């Protein structure tokens, strides 16, 4: 399955309206939290030592919230300015 941004300009899929819907969607929040927790497990970062992480495709920052809650610092970037 191809990504939406490969089918048409990202502005069609990542508008301000879509960004708001994404940010408040409880299923997306749950999925992003689970994926971020799993990514942190796989990274196997030292316990108790904050890391500075890059979130490419950060969207509205759902994963970043989880990174912050786990004591890490992060910077994010996204193709859509509305998602930031």
pLDDT of 51 = 98
Is 4 contained in some domain?
no
Is 71 contained in some domain?
yes
Is 42 contained in some domain?
yes
Residues 20-79 have pLDDT tens digits of 988 899 999 999 999 999 999 999 999 999 999 999 999 999 999 999 999 999 999 998
SS3 21: helix
- Confidence band for 8, pLDDT divided at 50, 70 and 90: confident
Domain count along the chain: 1
Q: Which residue has the tokens 């509305």?
A: 82
Supply the pTM of this predicted model: 0.83
Is 83 contained in some domain?
no
């Amino acid at each position: 399955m191809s990504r939406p941004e490969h089918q048409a300009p990202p502005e069609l899929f990542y508008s301000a309206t879509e960004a708001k819907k994404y940010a408040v969607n409880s299923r997306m929040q749950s999925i992003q939290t689970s994926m971020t927790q799993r990514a942190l497990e796989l990274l196997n970062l030292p316990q108790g030592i904050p890391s500075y992480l890059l979130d490419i495709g950060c969207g509205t920052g759902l994963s970043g919230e989880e990174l912050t809650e786990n004591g890490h610092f992060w910077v994010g970037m996204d193709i859509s300015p509305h998602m930031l």
